[in-house]
Amino acid sequence: MNNIIIEVENLKKDFYVGDVTVRALKGINLQIAKGEFVAIMGASGSGKSTMLNILGCLEKPSEGEYKLDGVSISALNKNELAELRNEKLGFVFQSYNLLSRTSALENVELPLFYNSRVKAKERKERAIAALESVGLLDRMHHMPNQLSGGQQQRVAIARSLVNDPVVILADEATGNLDTRTSYEIMELFQRLNSDRGKTIVFVTHEPDIARLTSRNIIFRDGWVVREEQVKDRTYASEIIKLLPVDELDVKITKS
Amino acid sequence: MNYINLAKIAKNALLRNKFRAFLTMLGIIIGVASVIAMLAIGQGSKKSIQDQMSSMGSNLVFIMPGSQQRGGVMMGNSGTQSLKLADAEAIRLQCPDVTAVSPEVRSNAQAVFGNQNWPTTMFGGNTFYLGIKKFEVESGRLFTDKEIAGLAKVCLIGKTVAKNIFPKGTDPIGQTIRFKTVPMKVIGILKEKGENSFGQDQDDILFAPYTTVQRRFLAIDYITGIYTSAASEAKTSAAIDEMTEVMRRQHKISKPTDDDFRVMSQAELVKTFTSISDILTALLGVISGISLLVGGIGIMNIMYVSVTERTREIGLRMSIGGKGRDILMQFLIESTMLSVTGGVIGILFGYLISSLVGSLMGWPVVIMTNSVVLAFLVCSAIGIFFGWYPAKKAANLNPIDALRYE
């Protein structure tokens, strides 16, 4: 049984800006196995965002091979890519990207609307289950503007879970949050990874956050310059205990 | 992708901006309501013309004298004396599709009773005349053929004349009025008919035997018109042909251009006047159609802004598996929902305005089902047509750029 979820081989991506060719990725090789929690790190311009876009099937490589869960994406057209995203991928963004004036429940349901095999009843049940797994069951009828940043990101995580994806792609998912909330979100990711075996690819430039994952892949100038297993892996739940207690934060996150 | 899901997505998206959705619909609402109301008013005026015309007898066919040449001098239509009693008699005998014939002569003068007087027109005809022109005798009686032959000094009186020369409470029947100094005995009262579509008071008349008017008041041997009833409205054109033929034979005319008479039917007159009303309706319809168009452009404008404003939403939808055509359909359904909902509200308002105009201003209104159906179809078409471009723009967005859009 093949355990490799993401397989990238000699992958290149060029952009054409006027007459200039920008080589964003110059030949990437990487493999991510089922159940891994991988951090992709790098400075801006290192190509990590481009990598994430390709991993997320939002973009096709110029050259090379990318197989997601055994499916080579080079041969797929736009619509097939959309179906692939719908069924196999979950996205978590830095700025949450929730629909405004739409309840948490409906936001979480959204990916299933684009899957005609899921009926209305099942859609709702799965969305509720996803919200429960991020601890927001009692907030499912709240609008995004009635939720704190951390809660909004939890809704976004629930949304990425609802289609039961093979991999969750998170792009700077803690970038807009304060330290405590960041660790709470990371705790959730760690729990999803360890308890439910979710494969997670996490793009970040914060070393502290990267240390919470199991493996780090460091990009620079379109190359993978280093790849390492995290030896002294920390757990977000323990760090939170060490953080100074902020009254306001406790109140908000108590629920 | 199923359309029920897309419709739900579109509905939710619209409900997120209720006020904006309402304002967008307003253009369509006003457009549709005005189209419906304007067409209803136009149709109403057309129908009222038709009704009033046919109240004068939809099977009415009449002959007026035409222009005539006399020694190289063209005579005007009214100056000619071409119609004779013999013509009326020939039509009565020779036209199978004509059921009733009456000559007509008119004389204008003051009707006098006691110290009251009133300017009016005395029409002269035979016993069929009232039937042909759809007059009825309310009380009293019509004159007889014997009285016609005897140039009897009897007349029937219209309500307007009666009101103006008889003091209140006086029964006109049996009274003697004077017309051009000739004493005339009132033998009957005509039933009220009201104004015709040109605002003419049809009750401002006196009616007497044509012989009396012709000899005693006008001292002429010709007649000013021949009024007939065709067997039915459908037979009017056949009756016109027969009468034209008989008249040409009577007047020994070989070329149609030499005709010294004109045969006309009420149906033709109705056609002429309703065509004016049709032009008016079309004009009103076009103007309100333009407002509908402007409403459509309003939808396009809002959808266009909305696509730009919701770029990130579109990016998100694409990243979680929305295909280009899902996005396209979502925006098309949104714009169609706006225009169709606006259309339905507009139709209701159109009904409301029409009935208000009908009851408050007393204008005749007729709401045509096909104008409602048309308005509805046009609305749906507008939604799709004006929604297409913004929807296409949304569908063609690159998901990565859309997600990063600020």
Question: What are the tokens at B238?
Answer: 């056949």
- Flag if A56 and B319 touch (Cβ within 8 Å): yes
According to DSSP H, which parts of B150-265 are helical?
A: 159-165, 210-211, 236-251
Residue B376: pLDDT above 60? yes
Element (H, E) at A88: helix A78-88
Is B205:B195 a contact under the CB 8 Å cutoff?
no
- Selecting from B5, B9, B403 the residue whose C-beta is nearest the C-beta of A116 gives B5
pLDDT digits (tens, 9 = 90+) for B87-112: 999 999 999 999 999 999 999 999 99
- Which of A78, A106, A113, A119 to mutate to test binding with chain B, by most B CBs within 10 Å of its CB? A113
Whether B210 and B105 have beta carbons less than 8 Å apart is answered as yes
Interface test with A, best of B11, B311, B319, B405 (most A CBs within 10 A): B319
User: B28 — alpha (psi -120 to 50), left (phi > 0) or beta?
Assistant: alpha
Q: What is the mean pLDDT of residues B30-49?
A: 87
Q: Is the pLDDT reported for residue A113 higher than 80?
A: yes
Contact A230, A213 (CB under 8 A): yes
Note whether A114 contacts B1, CB cutoff 8 Å: yes
Higher pLDDT, B233 or A136: A136
B321–A91: do the CB atoms touch at under 8 Å? no
Q: Is A47 on the interface with B (CB under 8 A)?
A: no
Q: Model confidence at A81, in pLDDT bands (50, 70, 90)? A: very high
Nearest CA in chain A to B5: A113
Q: State the Cα–Cα distance between residues A114 and A82, nearest whole angstrom.
A: 9
Which H helix or E strand runs over B334?
helix B324-360
Q: Is the pLDDT of residue A167 over 90?
A: yes
> How far is CA B403 from each of CA A54, A89, A185, B68, rounded to the nearest angstrom?
14, 16, 22, 87
Q: Is A56 on the interface with B (CB under 8 A)?
A: yes
Chain A residues within 8 A of B325 when measuring between CB atoms: 79
List the structure tokens of A110. Answer: 């959204």
Name the pLDDT band for B72 (thresholds 50, 70, 90): low
Mean pLDDT of B295-308: 89
DSSP state of A144: G
Q: Which has more pLDDT, B275 or A33?
A: A33
Among candidate residues B39, B322, B392, the one with its CA nearest the CA of residue A114: B322
Distance from CA of B297 to the nearest CA of A (A): 27
**CA-based nearest residue in chain A for residue B397:** A58
**Percentage above 70 pLDDT, chain B:** 96
Q: Is A97 exposed, middle or buried (0-12, 13-18, 19+ CB in 10 A)?
A: buried
Cβ contact, residue pair B5, A101, below 8 Å: no
Least confident interval from A50-54, A207-211, B62-66: B62-66
Show residues of chain A in contact with B3, CB under 8 Å: none
Q: Which residue's entry shows tokens 């600020």? A: B406
Over range A53-68, report the average pLDDT.
Answer: 93
pLDDT at residue B59 in the model: 85
CB A6 within 8 A of CB A201: yes
Position B201 confidence tier, pLDDT thresholds 50, 70, 90:
confident
- CB of A166 less than 8 A from some CB of B: no
Average pLDDT over residues A212-235: 91
Strand partners, A21: A16
As beta bridge partners, residue B226 has: B63, B103
By Cβ distance, the residue of A85, A102, A114 closest to B326 is A114
Q: Which residue of A has its CA nearest to B327?
A: A114
CA dist A235 → A168, A196, B249, B293 (Å): 19, 16, 119, 63
Report which DSSP code applies to B176: E
The C-alpha atoms of residue B196 and residue B245 are separated, in whole angstroms, by 31
* Predicted confidence (pLDDT) at residue A185 exceeds the cutoff of 90: yes
| A118 min Cα distance to partner chain B (Å) | 10
Closest-CA residue of chain A to B7? A113
Q: What is the mean pLDDT of residues B73-78?
A: 60
Q: E strand or H helix at A40, and its extent?
A: strand A37-42
The pLDDT > 90 percentage for chain B reads: 45
> Looking at the complex, does the CB of residue A189 fall below 8 Å from at least one CB of chain B?
no
Q: Which two tokens stand for residue B83?
A: 């119609």
Q: Do B321 and A163 touch (CB under 8 A)?
A: yes
Q: What is the DSSP string of B295-331?
A: HHHHHHHHHHHHHHHTHHHHHHHHHTT--HHHHHHHH
Interchain CB distance below 8 Å, A91 and B319: yes
Domains of chain A in sequence order: 38-49+86-254 (3.40.50.300)
A37 touches chain B (CB under 8 A): no
B303 CA to chain A: closest CA distance, Å? 17
User: What's the rounded mean pLDDT across residues B339-359?
Assistant: 91
Residue B235 pLDDT: 86
Is residue B98 within 8 A of residue B91, CB to CB? The reply is yes
In this prediction, residue A249 carries a pLDDT of 52
Is A116 in CB contact (< 8 Å) with chain B?
Answer: yes
Nearest CA in chain B to A56: B319
Per-residue tokens: A57: 């099937």
Q: pLDDT: is A218 or B267 the higher one?
A: A218
**Residues contacting residue B369 through CB under 8 Å, at least 6 positions apart:** none
- What pLDDT band is residue B70 in, cutting at 50, 70 and 90? low
**Cα–Cα distance, A185 to A153 (Å, whole number):** 8
Backbone conformation region of residue B108, classed left if phi is above 0, alpha if psi is from -120 to 50, else beta: beta
Q: For residue A60, give the chain B residue with the closest CA.
A: B400
| Min Cα–Cα distance to chain B from A242, Å | 35
Q: Which of A162-176, B122-136, B284-298 has the lowest mean pLDDT?
A: B284-298
Reported as a pLDDT band with limits 50, 70 and 90, residue B349 is: very high
B320 and A101: CB-CB below 8 Å? no
pLDDT for the residue numbered B314: 93
Phi (first) and psi of residue A11, to 5 degrees: -85, 130
pLDDT at A146: 94
Which of B16, B313, B320 is facing A85, going by the closest CB pair? B320
When pLDDT is cut at 50, 70 and 90, the band that residue B202 belongs to is confident
Question: Cβ contact (<8 Å) for B321 and A82?
Answer: yes
Q: Inter-chain contact A53–B12, Cβ cutoff 8 Å?
A: no
Nearest residue to B319 (alpha-carbon basis) of A95, A145, A250, A101 = A95
Q: Which position has the higher pLDDT, B59 or B315?
A: B315
β-pairing, B205-209 vs B154-157, is antiparallel
With CA atoms as reference, the chain B residue closest to A90 would be B320
Say yes or no for a CB contact (<8 Å) between A111 and B324.
no
Give the number of other CB atoms < 10 A from CB of residue B332: 23
Q: Name the band, by pLDDT with cuts 50, 70 and 90, for residue A63.
A: very high
pLDDT of residue A37: 95
Write down the pLDDT at residue A254: 47
Q: Which residues from chain B sit within 8 angstroms of residue A111, using beta carbons?
A: 320-321
Structure tokens, B62: 């009449």
In this prediction, residue A1 carries a pLDDT of 44
Q: Is the pLDDT of residue B370 over 60?
A: yes
User: If 0-12 CB within 10 Å is exposed, 13-18 middle and 19+ buried, where does residue B22 land?
Assistant: middle
**HEC letters along A95-111:** CCCCCCCCCHHHHHHHH
Q: Which of B316, B328, B330, B333 to mutate to test the interface with A (most CBs of A within 10 A)?
A: B316
Contacts with B97 (C-beta within 8 Å, 6 or more apart), sequence order: B230, B231, B235, B238, B239, B242
Task: Place A255 in a pLDDT band, splitting at 50, 70 and 90.
Answer: very low
Neighbours of B200 (CB within 10 A): 10
Q: Over the stretch A122-136, which tens digit does the pLDDT of each residue have?
A: 999 999 999 999 999
Is 90 exceeded by the pLDDT of residue A25? yes
Q: Residue A12 pLDDT > 90, yes or no?
A: yes
- Smallest CA–CA distance from A84 into chain B, residue: B321
Q: A58, A162, A172, A176: which to substitute to probe chain B, counting the most B Cβ within 10 Å? A: A58
Query: Helix H segments across B192-235?
Result: 210-211
Q: Is A143 on the interface with B (CB under 8 A)?
A: no
Confidence band of B197 (pLDDT split at 50, 70, 90): low
For B63, the 3-state DSSP assignment is: strand
Residue B328 has φ and ψ, to the nearest 5°, of -55, -50
**The one-letter amino acid at B22:** F
In this prediction, residue B243 has a pLDDT band, given cuts at 50, 70 and 90, of very high
B320–A100: do the CB atoms touch at under 8 Å?
no
- The number of C-beta contacts closer than 8 angstroms across A and B is 68
Of all residues in chain B, the one with the smallest CA distance to A96 is B316
In terms of DSSP H, where are the helices of chain A? Answer: 48-55, 78-88, 104-113, 120-133, 149-161, 179-196, 207-210, 236-242, 247-254
Of B270, B198, B277, whose CA–CA distance to B40 is shortest?
A: B277
Whether residues B324 and A159 touch (CB distance < 8 A) is answered with no
Q: Across the interface, do A116 and B2 touch by the CB < 8 Å criterion?
A: yes
**Residue B17: pLDDT over 90:** no
Q: CA of B44, closest CA in chain A: separation in Å?
A: 47
Q: How many CB atoms lie within 10 A of CB A100?
A: 12
pLDDT reported for residue B291: 87
For B312, the closest chain A residue by CA position comes to: A97
